[in-house]
Structure formats: structure tokens, C-alpha cells
Amino acid sequence: MKELEEKILKEGHALSENILKVDSFINHQVDPVLMQQIGDAFAGHFGNKGITKVVTIESSGIAPALMTAISLNVPMIILKKQPSKVLNDNLLQTVVTSFTKGTSYELTLSHQFIEENDNVLIIDDFLANGEAASGAIRLLSEAGASIAGVGILIEKSFQPGRDKLIAQGVDVYSLARVSRLAKGVIEFIPEEC
């Protein structure tokens, strides 16, 4: 997606060969116009898959997932990373290791929001090692839902996440595929025609 790539080049900061900071438009401050374009792009790609719910992991995926859910006219579900005093009944949980933070957390889904006939689209901000998306897939599969695909804003194509998800039979659609990061350097895989 050309608009996202241009925004990354203009406002993103490559801090190292693994870390791309995009907090000015995705995960601290949010660009709502860009998020609407992102939601429309995901809806355009996955729109014929019979999606019944859009799922994301708190918190950076919320804005693009919400815009995707609006474009598809379906509910959005947020998988929780933090324990909740009120979310404590009929829960599904799995442990996920965060590449960025280098820590593990319990990803939680309340079973009441997913049904066996749901066909779910997962939206996430980054794809690196595929751990977060794999954790979401585990929870949704345990609930009996089917996975329509995974939509990613920014894929670090030099890391194994895409291959891990494809090996699970998942349709992966990334809007910006980064081929190389280095301090001050951001390069993309050219978009397919």
C-alpha cells in the first residue's frame, strides 16, 4: 500500500536492524485518515471471504482493526494481554512471547464473543516472528472459529513470521513488506502488480 509505505518513509524511524518506530501514526498517535485507508484495503482484499468478526490484539492493532471491521460491517474483538478483574469467566488463554518487548504474556479471549461458525480475520500492526498471530490463531481455533486470514500493516519480511503462518495454512496479506532495516534505513519489497 503506497500510502502506508510513504508514511513509514516520512515519519517512521529505523532504530536498528529489527526495530521500526511508527508511534507518530500507528501506536501512540493515530492517523485516522490512514487507518481508514488501511481498513478499506483489508476489506478489499478479504471482503469475499465471508468474514463474521475482525480480531486484534491490544493495543496497537485496535485502530486498523476497527476501521477494517467498519469497512466489512462486522464486530471487532480485542484479545487481551493484561489480566482483568471483570473478564474472568469462560476464558481461553495461551502464552505468547513478544519479539519487540522480549517478554511473554497470556493472551486472553472470552469464549462468549466467538462462536463455532465464526470466520475470523486477524489484524495486527507488525509481523516479525509470527508469535502474536499464532497465539491468536490458537485461541480462535480452540473456540472453534475458522481463520479467514491475517492482515498485517507492516511485515518484517526478513524474519520468519510469514513462513510460519503460511505453514499453518493461513492467508497472509501485508500492506507494507519491509525487506531491510538498519539504523536510518528502511527498504521495501516492491508491491506486486
**27 annotated to bind ligand:** yes
**14 annotated to bind ligand:** no
**List of residues 6+ apart from 44 with CB closer than 8 A:** none
SS3 123: strand
**43 annotated to bind ligand:** no
Cell 487481551 found at: 80
Cell of 6: 510513504
**88 annotated to bind ligand:** no
**176 annotated to bind ligand:** no
Cell 465471508 found at: 50
**102 annotated to bind ligand:** no
Picking from 116, 140, 129, 124, the residue whose alpha carbon sits closest to that of residue 167 is 129
Say if residues 156 and 8 touch (Cβ distance below 8 Å): no
Query: Per the annotation, where are the binding residues for 5-phospho-alpha-D-ribose 1-diphosphate?
Result: 128-132
Query: Per the annotation, where are the binding residues?
Result: 20, 27, 128-132, 156
Query: Per the annotation, where are the binding residues for xanthine?
Result: 20, 27, 156
